[in-house]
């Protein structure tokens, strides 16, 4: 398996900073993964279907034949159905188990994205024809299928690595209006520092998807490297992301070529610079929000506990984009080292998770003075000693009525991770 995520787990588990806060919302563990009898373990990000079902991936577990790690499994795609009555429990179904044989993917570390007709798209960090990762689609049974019919998985692209292709896609996908999928790879490309890529759907039902490398990262100085977060796409088709010490945009010229524009550099704010950014979220007026795993104020660990940043578009005068830190994570009331990025809540604030110590769920509200740090609040502090989850490595999903859904990589009844809900 990849050395990146186990390293992060080791860093998280070895930390000692504790965030003590009281949860202002109702909280419940909806499901505890077992890692046994085909069940998954160590879940990633969730997506919420229109019918209220939750879909996600687990990095390990499942029943598929896994030559890479037969004892833990190669990961799963699961669905969690809400109860029919308040006294019932949520019901989990494993929709697919990955198996690193015959070219299948292995170890999905990111969430999914909805496509047409209920299909979901995602990535695996390993597996595929060259064991460099895959992009896949999971298609639900047809309307005339019998109850309990299996979903169908198809590999759309197997990464090859090297100078001409990416490798190790740790991040998920963004879906364009024409059905094109966009994403990043952690390695591969011209400098083996990662890529941004597009995967275009076939012109005919029997055709193949076509991959195009949009950008090969060149590294410091001047460019990012090794992106572990995905891309965000705006209404005009511009792509945004973060890698290394930079936030960037990728623009299409309409003739098939793409160009990169570096929007912000984190090291300009020393000694409070942020490091190791994940992906970005597009907010109101095109502002980009994101988190960094380390850097910032060293209040928990010497490397800093990370923070949340905002990158504001240039004004009508054509000036530079403006980057600023809106929250330094790492001390009361928050723990640090966020891995999952942020989502925008119903009230326009930001919501996310931190992974240091046992982990937290937090919210950020803009200050009345735009030059000040945003107001922080801890919505939940995980307590695995009482059967709660711990160490969330993914972000949150917002459901009906503003309910928040998320996962933890550890904790729960079998210490294999959980799915949780926070609501009013």
Mean pLDDT of 387-411: 95
Q: How many CB atoms lie within 10 A of CB 115?
A: 17
Mean pLDDT of 7-26: 42
Would you state the structure tokens that stand for residue 349, as one six-digit string? 């604030």
Task: Measure the CA–CA gap between 51 and 81, rounded to whole angstroms.
Answer: 9
Q: For the chain, give every domain's residue range.
A: 270-411
**Contact between residue 266 and residue 277 where contact means Cβ atoms under 8 Å apart:** yes
- Residue 15's pLDDT is 35
- Residue 272's pLDDT is 54
Task: Measure the CA–CA gap between 139 and 300, rounded to whole angstroms.
Answer: 44
Task: Measure the CA–CA gap between 215 and 239, rounded to whole angstroms.
Answer: 11
DSSP letter at 90 equals P
- Residue 330's pLDDT is 73
Task: Measure the CA–CA gap between 338 and 326, rounded to whole angstroms.
Answer: 14
- Residue 361's pLDDT is 95
Task: Measure the CA–CA gap between 39 and 328, rounded to whole angstroms.
Answer: 37
For the chain, report the end-to-end CA distance as a whole number of angstroms. 39
- Residue 153's pLDDT is 96
Question: Which residues neighbour 99 within 8 Å (Cβ) at sequence distance 6 or greater?
Answer: 62, 64, 65, 66, 74, 106
In this prediction, residue 12 has a pLDDT band, given cuts at 50, 70 and 90, of very low
Question: Which residues neighbour 333 within 8 Å (Cβ) at sequence distance 6 or greater?
Answer: 19, 20, 21, 362, 376, 377, 378
**Least confident range of 80-84, 192-196, 316-320:** 316-320
378: closest CA among 354, 357, 396?
354
Task: Measure the CA–CA gap between 224 and 410, rounded to whole angstroms.
Answer: 31
Is the pLDDT assigned to residue 19 strictly greater than 80? no
Q: CATH for 270-411?
A: 2.120.10.30
Q: Which backbone phi and psi does 231 adopt, to 5 degrees?
A: -110, 150
231: closest CA among 217, 219, 221, 218?
217
Residue linked to tokens 């010497």: 302
Is 36 in a helix, a strand, or coil? coil
Q: How many Cα neighbours within 13 Å face the side chain of 127?
A: 32
What's the pLDDT tens digit per position in 236-262?
Answer: 999 999 998 899 999 999 888 999 999
Measured torsion, CA atoms of residues 234, 188, 10, 55, in degrees rounded to the nearest 10? 40
- Residue 18's pLDDT is 32
Task: Measure the CA–CA gap between 9 and 121, rounded to whole angstroms.
Answer: 26
Is 304 in a helix, a strand, or coil? coil
33: closest CA among 73, 85, 65?
73
Mean pLDDT of 15-38: 72
In this prediction, residue 336 has a pLDDT band, given cuts at 50, 70 and 90, of confident
- Residue 24's pLDDT is 67
- Residue 266's pLDDT is 79
């Amino acid at each position: 398996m990849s050395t990146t995520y186990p390293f992060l787990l080791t860093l998280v588990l070895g930390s000692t900073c504790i965030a003590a806060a009281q949860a202002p919302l109702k909280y419940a563990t909806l499901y505890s993964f077992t890692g046994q009898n085909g069940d998954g373990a160590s879940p990633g990000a969730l997506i919420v279907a229109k019918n209220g079902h939750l879909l996600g991936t687990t990095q390990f577990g499942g029943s598929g034949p896994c030559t890479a790690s037969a004892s833990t499994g190669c990961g799963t795609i699961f669905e969690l159905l809400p109860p029919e009555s308040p006294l019932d429990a949520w019901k989990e179904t494993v929709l697919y188990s990955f198996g690193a044989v015959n070219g299948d993917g292995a170890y999905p570390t990111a969430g999914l994205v909805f496509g047409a007709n209920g299909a979901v798209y995602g990535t695996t960090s390993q597996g595929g024809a060259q064991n460099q990762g895959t992009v896949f689609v999971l298609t639900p049974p047809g309307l005339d299928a019998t109850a309990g019919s299996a979903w169908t998985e198809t590999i759309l692209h197997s990464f090859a690595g090297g100078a001409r292709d990416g490798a190790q896609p740790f991040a998920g996908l963004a879906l364009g209006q024409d059905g094109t999928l966009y994403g990043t790879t952690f390695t591969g490309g011209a400098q083996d520092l990662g890529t941004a890529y597009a995967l275009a759907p076939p012109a005919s039902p029997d055709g193949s998807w076509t991959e195009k490398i949009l950008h090969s990262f060149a590294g410091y100085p001047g460019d990012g490297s090794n992106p572990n977060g995905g891309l965000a796409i705006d209404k005009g088709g511009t792509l945004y992301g973060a890698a290394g010490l930079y936030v960037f945009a990728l623009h299409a010229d309409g003739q098939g070529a793409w160009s990169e524009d570096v929007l912000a550099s984190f090291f300009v704010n020393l000694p409070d610079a942020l490091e190791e950014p994940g992906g970005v979220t597009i907010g109101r007026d095109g502002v980009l929000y994101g988190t960094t795993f380390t850097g910032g104020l060293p209040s928990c660990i010497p490397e800093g506990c990370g923070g949340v940043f905002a990158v504001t578009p240039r004004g009508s005068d054509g000036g530079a984009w403006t980057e600023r830190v809106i929250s330094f994570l790492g001390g009361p009331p928050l723990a640090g080292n966020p891995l999952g990025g942020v989502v925008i809540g119903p009230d326009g604030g930001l919501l996310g998770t931190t992974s240091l110590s046992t982990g937290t769920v937090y919210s950020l509200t803009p200050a009345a003075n735009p030059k000040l740090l945003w107001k922080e609040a801890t919505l939940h502090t995980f307590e695995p000693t009482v059967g709660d989850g711990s160490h969330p490595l993914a972000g949150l999903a917002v459901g009906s009525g503003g309910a928040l859904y998320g996962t933890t990589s550890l904790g729960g009844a079998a210490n294999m991770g959980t799915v949780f809900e926070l609501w009013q």
